[in-house]
Structures are given as structure tokens and as C-alpha cells.
Structure 1
Amino acid sequence: MDNREIFEELTTLARQPAIWFVARNLYGQQASQRPNNSRRLLRVLAETDNDLTAGAIADILAIRPASVTQIIKKLENNAYIQRVKDESDARIVRVRITSEGRKQLQVLDNKQTDFQTELFDIFDDTEREQFGKSLHRLNEHVMSDEYLNNMRSKMDKHLQHHFDHFVDATRIQKLRKNQKSYLKRMQEHQLRSFFDRDDHEKF
């Protein structure tokens, strides 16, 4: 299979209506391709042993505090989370995932798992591993500064302007950075809460 055939297979796969429709609904992505922050918030609360403030959530998810407030209200209305007062300072409000919220997250996870299993069931373990590594390598290459700059250099100024607007390399770099720092931010807030708890216990 030559490069042209591989590219045609990739673009055909990306346009498959069944995959696009199901992925859009299961992963909560709209036409704008923005992540489902409601689900991400539930995931954050489920993964930490600490109740988090809205400010901490905004920091972990790298979104605006105003957006966090809207998401909290929506999830609270569905009984997926609850607001609780800080045990040491009643002025501080923290957010906690409820049992209903954990059930909803599990339902979403199960649906995703079923979808992924059906999609990749044609591969054995070795083929799946190699396919995943190849796709990851390709994505890293396509998002690299070297590749983007090389593509851009082959365009005239008019196309370069549209390319910059469409690709928005700054946003891509920011997204990549946010993905890598997500765990670090989670650990920082867990550690901070741990020390806060120690201080409260001393008093």
C-alpha cells in the first residue's frame, strides 16, 4: 500500500458517518470539537480523594472560572455533584461527586468501552498495539512545529493567512501542553489539600 492509498483510507475512516455520529454522542463533542467539560469535571472529582473548590477545578481543567460555575450548576441540577462547606472554613465551598454522579460516569465509560471494542475487534492484541503506536507517531508528527512550518512554507501568503486561522497552531500547542500537565495539576491540588488537612488536624 503506497502513501496515496494510506491517505485515502485515513480520510475515508475519518468521514465514516457511523463512527462520527457515535463518537460525537459518546464523547460529548459537538461540531466545534470542544471537549465535554461536564464529563471531565466528573472524572476529576472521581479521581481525587479531596473535595475541590471551583478555583481548583478551573485550574485542573484549564478553563475559565465562569465556565466552571455553569458546569457545576448543570451537574448539581442532575444530582451528579453536590456543594459542601469546607470543614475548617464555612466561607469556602467545595464540590463533591455524588453516588449518582459516579453511576453516570460508569454508564458513559461502559458505552465508550463497548464502542471501542466493536470498532477494534478485528485486530488481535499485536495488531492493535502496532496500530496504536503508528497512529500516535503520526499524530505527533502532524502536530509538530517542523511539519506545520514545512506545510506552511509551501503556500503563498494568502493561503498562509487562512492556514494560520484554520490550524491555529498556538491552540494546538496549548492543547498538547494542557494534556501533559493535567496529571501534574491534579497531583498539586491533592498534595495541597493533604497539607491543608494536616494543618487543620494540628489545630
Structure 2
Amino acid sequence: MDNTEIFDELTRLVHQPAIWVAARTLYGGQNQKPDNSRRLLRILAETTNHLTAGTIADILDIRPASVTQLIKKLETAKYVERVQDSEDARVVRVKITDDGRQHLEHLDNTRQDFQADIFGIFSEDERQAFGEYLKRLNEHVASETFIKSISDNFKGHERMMFNHMQQAHLKQNERFTKAMQQQREHMAKHGFNRHDNNWFS
């Protein structure tokens, strides 16, 4: 298989409706808001402390008004409940319910089932090799050398569009990295059991 055929197959893959829709649904897309409901359930399931609305706003980096709406939505679904602080009755905390844990488990199973359906055609060794190839490819296309090389091939409007998309992508990555660091710091401060990427998905 030559380079053109590989590129054609890669292009076909990223345009497959099943991949595109599932990726946006499970992981969010560039123009899609993150699933804060899932993120909050994940956080509540993994922390030893029930959280106040203010702490939730800090961790999720959203407005207090949005936190209130989010809590009400999950409370209506019986996935969370509000409880008084054991030491200060004036303080209200949010905790996950058994229904909330079951819902989160269902969401996780849906993601795992989808991933198993996609990659189930590969053996363990093939998945390992495929993952390494994809990682190397991602690192390559994100490198300054490659970006300069491909940018030099564009002319006029195409180059302007590419540069705009590249700058937007870099800013998005910077915001994401900064937000993740802030969230990890908040989580460490408020006594989370573990630090893994599941909290951010």
C-alpha cells in the first residue's frame, strides 16, 4: 500500500458516520460543549468528600449559575442529592446517589463497548502496534518541521486558512492544558482518591 492509498484510507476512516457521530457523542467535538453532567458524576464518584457548588464551579471551570442548573438537572434525574454539611448545617454539599453511580457505569460501558466493537478485529499485538503508529503520526503532523513544510505548499487563501486553523488549534490546546492543570490542582486540594483521565471525560 503506497502513501496515497494510506492517506485515502485514513480520510475514509475519519469521515465514517459511525466514527464521527460516536466521537462527538462520547468525547465532544470542537463546537460541542463538554459533557459536564458526566464529568460531575465522575468527580463525585471518585472523591471521598461531598462537594459544595462553589468547589464544583472551580473544578469544572464554569459559572456558578451553570452549576446550579447542572445540579438541578442531575437532582431531577435522581443522580445526585444535596445534603447538609455534618459540621456546619448552613453549608450544602452535593453527593452522588446509587442511581447516579449506575448511570455513570452505563455510560462507561457504552464507551467501552463502542471501542471494543471498533478495535475487536485486531489482536493485542496489532492494537499495540497500531496505537504506536497513530501516536507517532500525531506527533509528526504536530511538529514545527511538518507544519512549516506543508504551509509552504499552500498559496494565498489556502495558506491564510491553514494558518488560522493552526493558530486556533494551538490556542485550544493551550486552554485545554491549562484547564486540566487547574482541575488537577483543585482535585488534589479537595481530597480525590486518584488522578486519571476519566475525570475529564
TM-score by length of 1: 0.77
The 1:47/1:151 distance shift into structure 2, 3 A limit, reads: farther
Aligned to 2:55: 56
Aligned to 1:195: none
Aligned to 1:6: 6
Q: Alpha-carbon deviation of 1:117?
A: 0.7
Give the Cα–Cα distance (whole angstroms) in 2 for the partners of residues 40 and 7 of structure 1: 35
Which AA in structure 1 matches 2:190?
Answer: H
Q: Alpha-carbon deviation of 1:131?
A: 1.6
Query: What are the equivalent positions in structure 2 for 1:11-26 lying under 5 Å apart?
Result: 11-25=11-25
Give the Cα–Cα distance (whole angstroms) in 2 for the partners of residues 143 and 53 of structure 1: 39
Q: Alpha-carbon deviation of 1:144?
A: 5.3
Q: What value does the CA root-mean-square deviation take over the aligned residues?
A: 2.8
Aligned to 2:176: 175
Which AA in structure 2 matches 1:113?
Answer: Q
Q: Alpha-carbon deviation of 1:55?
A: 2.3
Which AA in structure 2 matches 1:82?
Answer: E
Which AA in structure 2 matches 1:105?
Answer: L
The 10-residue stretch of structure 1 (48-57 or 179-188) with the greater mean CA deviation from structure 2:
179-188
Q: Secondary structure at the match of 1:67?
A: helix
Aligned to 2:138: 139
Q: Deviations over 1:78-129 (max 9, x none)?
A: 1111112222223322111111100100111111111111110111111111
CA contact (8 A) 1:80 1:102 kept: yes
- The yes-or-no answer on 1:91 pairing with 2:90 is yes
Query: What are the equivalent positions in structure 2 for 1:21-100 lying under 5 Å apart?
Result: 21-25=21-25, 27=26, 29=28, 32-100=31-99
Q: Alpha-carbon deviation of 1:73?
A: 1.6
- Structure with the larger RCO, 1 or 2 (CA within 8 Å, 6+ apart): 2
Q: Secondary structure at the match of 1:73?
A: helix
Give the Cα–Cα distance (whole angstroms) in 2 for the partners of residues 146 and 55 of structure 1: 44
The 1:93/1:148 distance shift into structure 2, 3 A limit, reads: farther
Structure 2: give runs of 5+ residues left out of the alignment.
193-201
Percent of residue pairs identical: 50
Q: Secondary structure at the match of 1:190?
A: coil
Query: What are the equivalent positions in structure 2 for 1:158-173 lying under 5 Å apart?
Result: 159=158, 162-163=161-162, 165-167=164-166, 168=168, 169-173=170-174
Give the Cα–Cα distance (whole angstroms) in 2 for the partners of residues 146 and 61 of structure 1: 35
Q: Deviations over 1:139-185 (max 9, x none)?
A: 34444566556655665675565445544121222113434554443
Give the Cα–Cα distance (whole angstroms) in 2 for the partners of residues 183 and 136 of structure 1: 24
TM-score by length of 2: 0.77
Give the Cα–Cα distance (whole angstroms) in 1 for the partners of residues 17 and 153 of structure 2: 32
Give the Cα–Cα distance (whole angstroms) in 2 for the partners of residues 147 and 53 of structure 1: 46
Give the Cα–Cα distance (whole angstroms) in 1 for the partners of residues 43 and 153 of structure 2: 42
The 1:30/1:77 distance shift into structure 2, 3 A limit, reads: farther
Structure 1: give runs of 5+ residues left out of the alignment.
192-203
The 1:53/1:163 distance shift into structure 2, 3 A limit, reads: farther
Q: Alpha-carbon deviation of 1:44?
A: 0.8
